[in-house]
Structure 1
Amino acid sequence: MNTLPIHFLNRIMIQNRLPWLTPLVGLLLLTLPVFCQKIKPPKRNTTVSIRGDQFYINGKPTFQGRSWNGYKIEGLLPNARLVQGIYDDRNSSTRPKWAYPDTKTWDADRNTDEFVAAMPVWKAHGLLAFTLNLQGGSPEGYSKDQPWINSMFNPNGSYDPFYSRRLHRILNKADELGMVVILGLFYFGQDQYLKNEAAVINAVDNTLDILADGDYRNVIIEINNECDIRYDHDILKPERVHELIQRVKNRKIRGHRFLVSTSFSGGKIPTENVVREADFLLLHGNGVKDPARITEMVQQTRALAGNRKVPIVFNEDDHFDFDKPANNFRSATIAYASWGFFDYRMKGEGLDDGYQSPPINWQISSPRKKAFFDYLKEITGGLP
């Protein structure tokens, strides 16, 4: 199935508006293994693990022996929020909003192609991980209403084969490069398209099936982005999201289980039930204007974990100021927490700006992107 040439079917369906092809192609992709010998997963290059409060890749701590200005970098997982790598829009009325300037049309395959092409450049600057979300994130950065439909999942929790094939392309390239994917499953602007709690659980199980089929070991899971913001399904809210964390933890695939957590909104500390169950703890720096608060958040989260050592990771923060002596990236790093860059296209900006607003230039194409990657390379020393 990994070699099935279906990109042309995708283009026919989307560009010629033939939605009736979706169930036919989906049925083909889902039933083909019944008639064909199952393809053995490829040998994988990259395995991520956790020991105490450190991340390891292939049995060695990340950035082994590295320090920066006297602060330990070894074991950290610097990252960026690049959630739109498999983006598409099933809503025909909003789809034209994402048209590329040169072609005047949106192209989901082109988006993924250009994402994959940029990955070695990010890695060379020291980016070891990125967040990719199966329901994306707001393509406007922040949105009150989100009428677009960007979800790998169908209403019953099954998945769209075109999305999953784009996902495989990114996961395969990350494995080849030695990069970690923080794979988010649900987003509060899109979870409403899953019809009920059973569909949410089905979506989790189907995601694990996809990862199992590819034998991926370079993926860690974020159940949902900011579980404390207006989710429709109770099992995705803070009081019960630990049930899905437990579900992922309880499943082993060829002796491997996926590391899993969930995130909370900017400036918030994880709840006790999540701290108890999660393999790593995710924080967001949105809205945190004082870098000292970043350090305080790390300290408060660490206190909740008590004697249990666990990595702390910011995987979303829209603050920059990398040229200033105090900034959120620096504050997280000196508190021994990994930090993640969140960049969206702001008012008046163009194609080269932002990593969350389609159409996206995935290269280091703006002063803001360059400032982050230069600072990242200074801190990490870069990566081969």
Structure 2
Amino acid sequence: MMTNTSLDIQGSKFLINGALVYSDIKNSKPEAHGLLMNARFIQGIFDDKAAPERFAIFGHDHWDPEANTDRLIAALPQWYDHGLRAFTVGLQGGGPVLTLDDWSTIDNNPYGSDGKSLDRAYADRLDRLIHAADKVGMTVIVSFLYASQGPRLQDGRAVRHAVTNASRFLKEGGYSNVIIEVANEYNLPGFAIHPIVQTDEGIASLIDLARKESGGLPVGSSGTGGYANKEVAEASDVILIHGNGLHRQRYYNLIRKVQEWNLDKPIVCNEDSPCFTQFKVAYQTQTSWGYYNNHTKQDVPPDWTITKGEDTYFAHRMAEGIGIQLDPLPEDEQYYLQGLESHMVQDGKRWIRLAALYPEKIDTVEYFRNGEPMGIAYEEPFYPDYVETWIQTPIMMQPDDKVFTARVTQFDGKVIEKTVEL
């Protein structure tokens, strides 16, 4: 099969069509060459055979898995133009973190209980997505297993069958722009039912299995935020890490731990948070970083475009770090009070937050509801009710809610206010 995008690995660097990634861009920055900046688009082929109607939300009147994949395909060129060169998509998807408490109620398992089949509709959507990425010049990190779907595989043999069948599908597709992630955060408690996934020894053996059955595609597996294991890293072609919950110092410490193993392999964070100031750590350590936004990209249905606010600021900072020339954003467009868009409400809940092009300039963000104080945010991302870098507690809307304000105080003393009237 003729392909447009051929991914190769040379030591700790990535090459596309024989050249270091980003080196083909005029005036690109050398510190970006060979890296693979990416985003978590885990729901790109998502479906729910249990209750799909519950995802007719956020401005959608019904759930359509084919249309969801088509919307992602349509958005890829825009992301490519800003420097995105890879994204993660899951055969078992991910968790709608904000809108659904019990993810085990979702039936998003394409393998069957014995792992011996691969649902044709899922396979076709994945094939369509990989081909679209190949055409535009991007790599797809294909994730096989997700913890909340683990119980839908009946035993360890079913897990092995699922890994084998997914790997053979990728081999038969002849794709040259794929990295395999055997399991998303394999050490999560949700995988306890399957020690072959949850243990370091077990996942290392599944990495070997996936490499063999896929015909030698690069393989790895991520752990939870801040976790890394040497045996798994040694088994991997690409060392996949997650930065969830880590601010820059702890994220740097995680990378240094892995680098001290001297394995000379690419280190790719393929899930973190909207905290794109992690780019600085990535460039200084010569590692790749992955943007993760529950609000726009993981809760179902996702909006795959570069939405106003966090997505736009991430895309601009990614382009800036690579050396891609974009028109600068005017100063009054560098802050955005997000989550108050008319369609971004579910069961009376809103996820309000202040997005900023340069979060590192901010000292505090004070939030006001109808003129009354409702919280202060001190750390990026600036959530009024902060839980982790990647999640916040929703605000329950009241009938008398008329106006929300974010008062931003920068470290230089400048104060900016962003107000939304409902």
Which category describes the TM-score, using the shorter chain as reference length? Answer: 0.7 to 0.9
Q: Is residue 136 of structure 2 the alignment partner of residue 181 of structure 1?
A: no
Distance 1:190 1:341, change over 3 A: same
TM-score (norm 2): 0.72
Q: Is residue 367 of structure 2 the alignment partner of residue 367 of structure 1?
A: no
1:123–1:383 CA contact under 8 A, matched in 2: no
Give the drift of 1:73. 0.9
Give the drift of 1:235. 1.0
Question: What is aligned with 1:280?
Answer: 238
1:68–1:379 CA contact under 8 A, matched in 2: no
When structure 1 is superposed on structure 2, of 270-279 and 140-149 the one drifting more is 140-149
Q: Is residue 34 of structure 2 the alignment partner of residue 90 of structure 1?
A: no
When structure 1 is superposed on structure 2, of 362-371 and 66-75 the one drifting more is 66-75
3-state secondary structure, aligned to 2:148: coil
Q: Is residue 5 of structure 2 the alignment partner of residue 43 of structure 1?
A: no
When structure 1 is superposed on structure 2, of 62-71 and 193-202 the one drifting more is 62-71
3-state secondary structure, aligned to 1:310: coil
Q: Please show how residues 227-238 of structure 1 align to structure 2 within 5 Å.
A: 227-230=186-189, 231=191, 232-238=193-199
Question: What is aligned with 1:334?
Answer: 284
3-state secondary structure, aligned to 2:208: helix
Please point out which of 278, 297, 303 is paired with 1:355. Answer: 297
Question: What is aligned with 1:145?
Answer: 102
Give the drift of 1:68. 9.6
Q: Is residue 265 of structure 2 the alignment partner of residue 310 of structure 1?
A: yes
Distance 1:153 1:124, change over 3 A: same
Question: What is aligned with 2:209?
Answer: 247
Distance 1:67 1:331, change over 3 A: farther
Give the drift of 1:152. 2.2
CA distance in 2, matches of 1:217, 1:151: 25
3-state secondary structure, aligned to 1:250: helix
Structure with bigger gyration radius: 2
Question: What is aligned with 1:4?
Answer: none
Question: What is aligned with 1:31?
Answer: none
Q: Which amino acid aligns with 2:92?
A: Q
Give the drift of 1:100. 4.6
Question: What is aligned with 1:60?
Answer: 19
3-state secondary structure, aligned to 1:189: helix
Question: What is aligned with 1:266?
Answer: 225
1:86–1:134 CA contact under 8 A, matched in 2: yes
Q: Which amino acid aligns with 1:182?
A: I
1:182–1:219 CA contact under 8 A, matched in 2: yes
CA distance in 2, matches of 1:309, 1:66: 25
Give the drift of 1:117. 0.4
CA distance in 1, matches of 2:24, 2:303: 34
Distance 1:69 1:183, change over 3 A: closer
3-state secondary structure, aligned to 1:185: strand
Structure 1 residue runs of 4 or more that deviate by more than 6 Å after TM superposition: 65-71
3-state secondary structure, aligned to 2:317: helix
Q: Is residue 182 of structure 2 the alignment partner of residue 223 of structure 1?
A: yes
1:134–1:183 CA contact under 8 A, matched in 2: yes
3-state secondary structure, aligned to 2:270: strand
2:171–2:214 CA contact under 8 A, matched in 1: no
CA distance in 2, matches of 1:251, 1:96: 36
2:243–2:251 CA contact under 8 A, matched in 1: yes
Q: Is residue 52 of structure 2 the alignment partner of residue 121 of structure 1?
A: no
Please point out which of 236, 249, 257 is paired with 1:300. Answer: 257
Identity %: 34
Superposed CA offset, 1:89-110 (max 9, x none): 0112xx2221155552111111
Give the drift of 1:364. 0.8
1:48–1:217 CA contact under 8 A, matched in 2: yes
CA distance in 2, matches of 1:66, 1:54: 16
2:88–2:270 CA contact under 8 A, matched in 1: yes
The answer to which structure, 1 or 2, has the higher relative contact order (CA under 8 A, 6+ apart) is 1
1:89–1:148 CA contact under 8 A, matched in 2: yes
CA distance in 1, matches of 2:100, 2:204: 27
Superposed CA offset, 1:308-343 (max 9, x none): 3111111111142x5xxxx22221221111000000
Give the drift of 1:111. 0.5
CA distance in 2, matches of 1:252, 1:298: 28
Unpaired stretches in structure 2, ≥5 consecutive residues: 327-422
Give the drift of 1:141. 5.2
Distance 1:309 1:115, change over 3 A: same
3-state secondary structure, aligned to 1:183: strand
Q: Is residue 71 of structure 2 the alignment partner of residue 110 of structure 1?
A: no
Q: How much is the aligned-residue C-alpha RMSD, in angstroms?
A: 2.2
TM-score (norm 1): 0.79
2:164–2:213 CA contact under 8 A, matched in 1: no
1:81–1:342 CA contact under 8 A, matched in 2: yes
Give the drift of 1:66. 7.3
2:274–2:310 CA contact under 8 A, matched in 1: no
1:71–1:334 CA contact under 8 A, matched in 2: no
Superposed CA offset, 1:162-210 (max 9, x none): 1111111100101111110111100111121111111111111111222
Q: Which amino acid aligns with 1:126?
A: G
CA distance in 2, matches of 1:142, 1:246: 36
Please point out which of 125, 133, 137 is paired with 1:166. Answer: 125
CA distance in 2, matches of 1:143, 1:302: 37
1:123–1:382 CA contact under 8 A, matched in 2: no
1:126–1:383 CA contact under 8 A, matched in 2: no
Distance 1:141 1:59, change over 3 A: farther
Distance 1:338 1:112, change over 3 A: same
Q: Which amino acid aligns with 1:123?
A: Y
CA distance in 2, matches of 1:170, 1:184: 14
Q: Which amino acid aligns with 1:135?
A: Q
Q: Please show how residues 180-199 of structure 1 align to structure 2 within 5 Å.
A: 180-199=139-158
Superposed CA offset, 1:209-259 (max 9, x none): 221222101001010011110202111113310001111233464xxx100
CA distance in 2, matches of 1:238, 1:79: 27
Give the drift of 1:150. 1.4
How many pairs were matched up?
A: 321
